[in-house]
A and B are shown apart, each in its own frame.
Chain A
Amino acid sequence: MTYQKPIPLKDQDNQAYWDAADKHELVLQKCNDCGTFSQPPGPTCANCGSANVGWEKMGNDVQATVYSYVVSYRPFLPGFQDELPTIIALAQLDRVPEVKIMGNILNCDEQDVQIGMPVQMTWVDITEDRALPQWQPVTN
């Protein structure tokens, strides 16, 4: 069964993020001048306009807490009709609280999701060479 959902499109500005994701790692764009992290990444720093931006490796152990979420009961895109309801969450990184990353919360009942809930990043292989960062509840 081929993957039906949209696959993240790589472009000039986000390539490093998605290349790292394919290797099950998180990298974040950071401004070398003012130190601001940019998520999503862009051509320059959106805080100071500097083009002197680089990438900081965050590794593959990424802890976060749910900052907000929606439970989506209708599919607005192809592929999601088979996995309703879909939990879409914005998770705040423990190590870099100014950065929040959207993802689905996998392996979680929609009644159990709540703001403040700890989650960890997990990477789902969606094609032979692509992987999608996702969230799952932290289990002890």
Chain B
Amino acid sequence: MGTIKDRYAIVGVGESERSRKSGTTPLHLALDAANAAIKDAGLKATDIDGFMNYNEGDSCTSHQLATYLGVRPKYVKDIQGGGASTEMLIADAAALIEAGQLNTVLIYRSLNGSSGTRVGRGYDPDMLQGALAGGSFVIPYGSASPSQWFGMYAMRHMHETGTTKEHLGHVCLSFYEHAQRNPKAFLHGKPLTMENYLATPDISSPFNIHDSCLELDEGNALIVTSAENAKNCTSRPVYIMGMSARQCHPHAHYWNDIDQVASDYVAKELYENAGVTPEDIDVAAIYDCFSWVVLRQLEAYGFAKRGEAGEFVAQGNLKMGGKLPTNTAGGMLSEGYTHGMNNAIEIVRQLRHDYEGTDRQVEHCKIGICTGWAGPDIAGAMILRN
């Protein structure tokens, strides 16, 4: 994807209300998000000729969304997927535009993740054994929640590097602090102290409730088009400098190798394509389904050496004014949770300087990174600029 540098842009972003009980369907939430993104871009719905969605069997289809926007699209695509799907679909959109198939693509993620189908629980055990690679070697032992799966990775990593529970807490505290400046964050008005964090009992060691992402009802959308088309939009375009759409390490055997993660493979291609280094990044959106996942990615993407991510975070570097302000709307730990798209939306807003003149703006930021993590085995990421 090296050749696409600076030739594609995100020109619109939008989200629905977020809540524990929307009282409505993912289609309604998707329409709210899509309309907000279209308005943000200064486009008409009929300017969009491609619609893409990722879901876990918990959403409406792209075809439905397009229909109720009054659009007869040239192209619809719905993929099964969680984290890193935002990056992959943006790459797919750029490729289809590059190939002359489409002009402008709307990508969305919408779910009733609290009141409807929940990601982290409620599966039929026999279905899970079949659906999960090697599931019969995991499910009979009571391991069915991402908190338990990633906890296994985290405990080993902490053992090897000396990363501590307090370090995990600093990730949470940093993002909760951002949520207190974001009135739309779900945990706005619910600040977190280290004392409270450490006093909260674990759900799956080393994680307590604060280390885990929120499950909410929410829709998000963003619009991708060419740099040329972006001139017709009223928003300030945010250009894609480089991507590594989706890389994998051995799927079925990831229980047997909990030391490597797919993000390790993504970083090299990503920086090569973008032509920048970690030192050039001003603002970050790091996939944060769990606090530890942030620490491990800080290592993978070169922001801290192995074993030093905990100290990097403890020094306040993820906060406003730190070296790498990260998940500045509160992230999935405290703003909302759409498998990464809410973090992608925030980095676009930061790079557009939408918050200029407030304490939420990362001053003078030019280049941002957005990472996706679909578990240890799949990751994708992009680097954006204004």
Contacts and interface: CB of A to CB of B under 8 A. Distances in A.
Interface in A87-140: 88, 90, 98-104, 115, 132
Interface string B142-157: 1111011001110110
A6 B125 contact: yes
A40 B142 contact: no
Contacts of B138: 102
B33 to A, nearest CB: 30
B204 A73 contact: yes
A9 B156 CA distance: 28
B256 interface: yes
B129 A99 contact: no
Given A88-B142, A102-B143, A70 B133 contact: no
B204 A90 contact: no
B159 A68 contact: yes
Interface stretch (B16-24, B247-255, B296-304, B377-385): B247-255
B4 interface: no
Contacts of A74: 145, 203-204
B364 interface: no
A12 to B, nearest CB: 12
Contacts of B134: 40
Interface in B179-212: 201-206
B140 interface: yes
Interface in A1-25: 5-11, 14, 18
B42 interface: no
Instruction: Please indicate which of the listed interface residues A68, A99, A102 has the most CB atoms of chain B within 10 Å of its own CB.
Output: A68
Contacts of B125: 6, 77-78
Most buried by A among B137, B250, B258: B137
A71 interface: yes
B139 interface: yes
A103 B142 CA distance: 9
Interface of A: 5-11, 14, 18, 38-40, 42, 46, 67-80, 86, 88, 90, 98-104, 115, 132
Given A68-B156, A69-B155, A76-B121, 13 more contacts: A6-B125, A6-B139, A9-B136, A40-B133, A46-B252, A70-B143, A70-B204, A71-B202, A73-B202, A74-B203, A76-B142, A76-B144, A115-B159
27 contacts: A6-B126, A8-B129, A8-B139, A9-B126, A11-B130, A11-B136, A14-B136, A39-B255, A68-B153, A70-B155, A71-B205, A72-B142, A72-B145, A73-B203, A76-B121, A76-B143, A76-B144, A77-B139, A88-B143, A90-B156, A98-B256, A101-B137, A103-B141, A104-B141, A104-B142, A115-B155, A115-B159
Q: Which 5 A-B pairs have the closest CB atoms?
A: A40-B134, A68-B156, A6-B125, A70-B151, A8-B136
